[in-house]
Every structure is written in C-alpha cells, then in structure tokens.
A and B are shown apart, each in its own frame.
Chain A
Amino acid sequence: MLYRIFLGVLLVLCAGEAAQAQDYVPVISGAVGFLSTTSGGTHVNEPIIVPVLSAPIGDHILIEARGGFEEFFVQPNGTGPTSRQFFGGLDYAQVDVIVNSWLTLVGGKFITPFGIYNERLLPIWIHNLQNAPIIFTIGTRNSSESLGGMARGVFTPAKDLQVNYTAYYSTTNQSANWGAARTAGGRVGFFLPEQRFEVGVSYQRYLQDTHMNSFGAYLSWQPYSAPLDFKGEFAHSLNGYGYWAEAAYRLSRFRGPDSLVGRLQPVVRVQQFVRKQFTFEDALPGANTQEADLGVDYYLPHEIRFNADYGRQFSSQGNENIWDVGITYRFMLPLWPGGHR
C-alpha cells in the first residue's frame, strides 16, 4: 500500500515536472450542480459534482478521467420520509495516445461511442434538458462505459468536409467501478463545418448473453444564420427502437446574448419508443412510450446555468408528468500552482 502511495506521489511529481517543461498545466474542470426531479409523484433531489481531469504528458499522451459523485434524496410519494443514497464512481479513466489527427489510440475505461448523446451531451453542463432520452440505453446497455481499447480520429478529405470515426472493443467486467459488457462497435460521422451540420451512424454488437446488434443514426445542426441548436437520434435494437428530436433557440438576438432576455434559451423535445420484445435488463420502457418535453435554460454570468423543464410521458403502463429544475456551475482549476492567468 505504501509503495503504491509512493508511486502515486512520484507519478504526480513527474507529471507536474513534465507539465512545467511542456508549458501546460494539468487541469481539473467539470461542474457542480443541484438537480431536482418530480416524476410520477416521486421527488428526487440530487446534489452532484462531476470533476474532469485532463493531464497531457508530452505532445502525444493524454491522461483523462471523469468522476461522478451524487447523493439522491428520494421522497417516494411526495410525502413521508426521505431516503438517501450516495453514488460515486468513475465515468471514464483512459490513456490516449495521439498519433496524429487521423488516429488516436485509447485504452482504459471510456464512454461508449454510440450515437451522440452518451459521449457528447451527457455532462450536466452540456445537455439542454435534464433527463436523458428514453432510447438512451440502446447501444449503451448495462453501463454507458466500455472497458478495453478504441481507435478514433478525424479526416479532412475536402475543405468543407470532415469525417470522424471510432472503432472499439470492450471486455466484460463485473466490478463496481469498472463495470462493462463485452461489446464491439463503432461510429462514423460526416461533418460540414461551414454549415455546422453533422450526420452519422453507429453500430454495436453485444457479445455476451443474448448476442444482438444495435444500430443508430444521428443528426446535429447549428446554422450560423440563427441561434438554433437542433439535434436528433434514432436507435434500433432487438428489443425496440425509437427516436428523439430536440430544438433549442437562444434569444440572443434580443439585445445580445448578455441581455436579460438574450440569456434565455427555450427548448423543445419530442421522443418515441416502440417496444418489440420485453426484457428487464435493457432499462428501456416496458411498453410503447411517447414523450414531449418543454424547457428553458438561462445562462447566468460566470458559467452558471439555470434550467427548468416539464415533460409529459404517454404510455400504456400509465401516463406521467416529469418536472425538472436544476442549477449548474462549470469550473476549471489548474492542478499546479502558477497555471492560472
């Protein structure tokens, strides 16, 4: 144990010294937040902290990790005693070897690159609506992380076209912090930077228990001509399929993005899931489900964001209202003295 502590201290010191030499400083970024949800009469309050480590070593190696520490205060029927439960763990912890733009090799625990929500939109300071889409677990079943290796990169075959890709293999693991399923898959995306338009497809082969394929397609568009943010995904698996489509419009044209009204961003999302065969393991709704969500984000100064949304879920198992309120603060700290401006 003591040797491990010593090695850890030595590693941190070496990383710090390397950072000094390379003119960068490892940083801890991320967000703290307080989220509150009422769904089907059950209240859940959730203080949460999500730290993200980024520690480059030289020009080609990067160590990165993200943790999630949250406490759930649950009041089952809106009245009565409140139970509490703490969850803490690593979302990912990986070593990246950046060969060039075309190829980065990743080893460790990484976010499963299926669609765009899991890898790009899941952090609490990024997504426009608090609750994840109902098809979220297609392609990210069991856990949204994988344990193994991945290759990824970006090509620029033409001036106005970028092609990005990922290909990965994950092994199975049952431990608490490193839990993952045996899967293989990948994603290909086509991005037009002049239009800020991207489409892509994902594939995953589930290689344990009942082997199955999952397919996905996504679209993301943020036109320069308007402060509109449009995103959508479709996903299909053996157990069901569905889609979500979301549009957000920042009112920044009303006296600029820093005005009282310009900080406001209304959001609307529609989604649907069709159940083909039932299983308890996939964490998808038990029956055909539709949902409509309406919300607002308010961007306060100093990286603080307030959001509130309402959703109505329609299902043969029972309709329900979902209310969310939350506030997040995005932070960034250098791990080494002298790193901050």
Chain B
Amino acid sequence: MRMVRIKVLSLCALAAFLYCVAQVHGQSAQSAAPAQPMSSEQTTQSGKPGSSAAASKQASASQGEKRFEAQCGRCHVPPEDLSPREARAVLRQMRVRAMISAEDERLILKYIAP
C-alpha cells in the first residue's frame, strides 16, 4: 500500500513538473514569436495603415452587439470585464445552452471581448 502511494505521488509530481516545463516553454515560444506583419490590404487602402482593418473590426463589433442583443440580451445584460480567453469558454457553453449558431458565437465574441 505504501509503495502504491509513493508511486502515485511520484506520478503526480512528474505530471506537475511536465506541466511547469510546458508552461515555461509556451511562454518563451510566445515571447520569441515575431510580430504579425501588416497585410498589404491594411497598408494600401485609403492611405492610412490599418484603417480598413479598424473599420472592419468596428463593423464586426456592431454586428456582434446586434447579435448579443438578439440572443443573449433576452435573458441577461453583458457580463462585466471579461478577458477574451474567458469569453471564449463562456460563449462556447452558451452556444450549446442557448442554441447560438457558430456565426453568432464569432460575432458576439468580438463584441464582448474585442
């Protein structure tokens, strides 16, 4: 019985160690990744870099607000202070529970966690 406990604790410690290593590796990989270059579309249209992307983002957010009001606003108000990572998890759940389509999920995400 004692040996079993030692084995289980060792395995737990090993799993925790592997997790920590993976975390550190993930963070260093993220910091080493080069910045996303601006696309030609973003730089050429209207002469202002990123202006079309900003307009598109604004349009998506407006659509997202509309979809939020239509779908989620029937039962509750927008949640306060959600990070994009939290919002993705919550929206995935609401997609199943409140019967939201994939397109609505995508647009609402841009609205509640731009």
Q: CB distance A96 to B99 under 8 Å?
A: no
Q: CB distance B93 to A64 under 8 Å?
A: yes
Binding stretch for chain B, among A169-177, A271-279, A332-340: A332-340
| CB-CB nearest in chain B for A23 | B85
Task: Answer whether A153 and B74 are a contact pair too, CB < 8 Å, given A20-B26, A54-B93.
Answer: no
Residues of A within 8 A of B96 (CB): 62, 64, 96, 98, 104, 106, 152
Say whether A156 faces chain B, with CB atoms less than 8 Å apart: yes
User: Interface size on A (CB < 8 Å)?
Assistant: 59
| CB-CB nearest in chain A for B8 | A2
Say whether A260 faces chain B, with CB atoms less than 8 Å apart: no
| CB-CB nearest in chain B for A189 | B99
Say whether B98 faces chain A, with CB atoms less than 8 Å apart: yes
| CB-CB nearest in chain B for A6 | B8
In the assembled complex, the Cα of A162 lies from the Cα of B23 at a distance in Å of: 42
| Contact residues, A27-45 vs B (CB, 8 A) | 27, 29
Our pick among B81, B92, B103 for the contact of A341 (Cβ within 8 Å) is B81
Task: Answer whether A154 and B86 are a contact pair too, CB < 8 Å, given A6-B11, A9-B15.
Answer: no
Residues of A within 8 A of B54 (CB): none
In the assembled complex, the Cα of A119 lies from the Cα of B96 at a distance in Å of: 11
In the assembled complex, the Cα of A55 lies from the Cα of B100 at a distance in Å of: 18
Residues of B within 8 A of A17 (CB): 19, 22
| CB-CB nearest in chain A for B5 | A2
Task: Answer whether A6 and B12 are a contact pair too, CB < 8 Å, given A120-B75, A339-B86.
Answer: yes
Q: CB distance A334 to B83 under 8 Å?
A: yes
In the assembled complex, the Cα of A332 lies from the Cα of B18 at a distance in Å of: 28
Residues of B within 8 A of A193 (CB): 67, 70-71
In the assembled complex, the Cα of A299 lies from the Cα of B18 at a distance in Å of: 46
Task: Answer whether A334 and B90 are a contact pair too, CB < 8 Å, given A6-B8, A104-B96, A303-B79.
Answer: no
Residues of A within 8 A of B38 (CB): none
Task: Answer whether A340 and B12 are a contact pair too, CB < 8 Å, given A13-B19, A222-B74.
Answer: no
Residues of B within 8 A of A189 (CB): 99
**Which one of A23, A29, A52 has the greatest number of beta carbons of chain B within 10 Å?**
A29
Task: Answer whether A2 and B4 are a contact pair too, CB < 8 Å, given A64-B93, A193-B71, A332-B82.
Answer: yes
In the assembled complex, the Cα of A119 lies from the Cα of B93 at a distance in Å of: 13
* Shortest Cβ distance from residue B103 to the other chain A in the assembled complex, whole angstroms: 8
| CB-CB nearest in chain A for B79 | A332
Our pick among A10, A13, A153, A330 for the contact of B99 (Cβ within 8 Å) is A153
Residues of A within 8 A of B84 (CB): 23
Q: Mark each residue of chain A from 185 to 205: 1 if its CB lies under 8 Å from any CB of chain B, else 0.
A: 000010101101000000000
* Shortest Cβ distance from residue B20 to the other chain A in the assembled complex, whole angstroms: 10
* Shortest Cβ distance from residue B108 to the other chain A in the assembled complex, whole angstroms: 12
Say whether A125 faces chain B, with CB atoms less than 8 Å apart: yes
Residues of B within 8 A of A240 (CB): none
* Shortest Cβ distance from residue A19 to the other chain B in the assembled complex, whole angstroms: 8
Say whether A101 faces chain B, with CB atoms less than 8 Å apart: yes
Say whether B40 faces chain A, with CB atoms less than 8 Å apart: no
Say whether A212 faces chain B, with CB atoms less than 8 Å apart: no
Q: CB distance A154 to B92 under 8 Å?
A: no
| CB-CB nearest in chain A for B4 | A2
Say whether A148 faces chain B, with CB atoms less than 8 Å apart: no
Say whether A302 faces chain B, with CB atoms less than 8 Å apart: yes
Q: CB distance A119 to B85 under 8 Å?
A: no
| CB-CB nearest in chain B for A336 | B85
Say whether B97 faces chain A, with CB atoms less than 8 Å apart: yes
Q: CB distance B89 to A341 under 8 Å?
A: no
Give 17 A-B pairs besides A56-B88, A101-B103 with Cβ atoms closer than 8 angstroms: A6-B11, A10-B15, A17-B19, A19-B89, A24-B85, A24-B89, A25-B85, A54-B92, A56-B92, A62-B96, A101-B101, A120-B98, A164-B99, A334-B85, A339-B86, A340-B86, A341-B86
